[in-house]
């Protein structure tokens, strides 16, 4: 498995530009229905199952792989659940994962913008770029660059 090269940058970008704007809390008992809905809207089948994360997990808020998403029993922010769904979507059943790489970031941005209408894709992509996070999207051309074409 390769090193998760932009994990800390990704977490910082998410904290500043995404999670800070999310005051919601999804109760544990509703999380599976939301995962199922997001999965179906993406045209996918066999969504991951939601389980409670271990009460002894002190450094991890939530985690996910292709088959399972583990979250706290007291609930989770919508954007954090979408983060974990993006991990499930970019992971393989046998354990392969993109970590917090460009593919994961692109999927996460897409999910956030699709399911929370207050977020704008271009703004999140630009914020990611400014935060040193590779989203797999090319930088936007400035007005001056566009005029010179």
Please give the mean pLDDT across all residues of the chain.
89
Residue 126 lies in a domain: yes
The percent of residues in the chain predicted with pLDDT above 90, rounded, is: 72
Q: Name the pTM for this structure.
A: 0.88
How many CB atoms lie under 10 A from the CB of residue 125? 21
Residue 83 covered by a domain: yes
Provide mean pLDDT across the span 53-82: 92
1 lies in a domain?
no
- The pLDDT of residue 146 is 52
Determine the average pLDDT of the residues in 88-103: 82
Whether the Cβ atoms of residue 66 and residue 91 lie closer than 8 Å to each other? yes
Residue span of the structural domain in which 64 resides: 7-147
Mean pLDDT calculated for residue range 103-118:
95
Residue 96 to residues 36, 69, 120, Cα–Cα distance (Å): 22, 15, 30
**Pair 75, 52: CB distance under 8 Å:** no
pLDDT at 5: 80
pLDDT tens digit string along 9-58? 999 999 999 999 999 999 999 999 999 999 999 999 999 999 999 888 77
What tokens appear for 13 in the block?
A: 């970008």
Domain count, the chain: 1
65 inside domain: yes
Planar angle of CA 38, 39, 40, nearest 5 degrees: 95
Residue at 2 is within a domain = no
Determine if residue 99 is left, alpha or beta; phi over 0 gives left, psi from -120 to 50 gives alpha, anything else beta.
Answer: left
Q: Are 73 and 52 in contact (CB under 8 A)?
A: yes
């Amino acid at each position: 498995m390769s090193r998760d090269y932009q994990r800390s940058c990704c977490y910082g970008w998410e904290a500043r530009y995404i999670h800070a704007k999310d005051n919601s809390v999804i109760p544990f008992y509703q999380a599976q229905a939301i995962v199922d809905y997001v999965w179906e809207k993406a045209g996918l089948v066999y969504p991951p199952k939601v389980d409670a994360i271990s009460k002894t997990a002190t450094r991890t808020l939530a985690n996910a792989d292709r088959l399972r998403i583990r979250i706290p029993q007291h609930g989770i922010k919508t954007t954090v659940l979408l983060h974990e769904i993006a991990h499930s979507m970019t992971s393989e059943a046998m354990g392969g994962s993109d970590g917090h790489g460009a593919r994961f970031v692109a999927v996460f941005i897409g999910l956030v913008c699709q399911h929370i209408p207050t977020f704008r894709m271009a703004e999140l992509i630009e914020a990611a770029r400014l935060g040193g996070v590779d989203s797999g999207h090319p930088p936007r051309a400035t007005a001056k660059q566009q005029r010179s074409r």
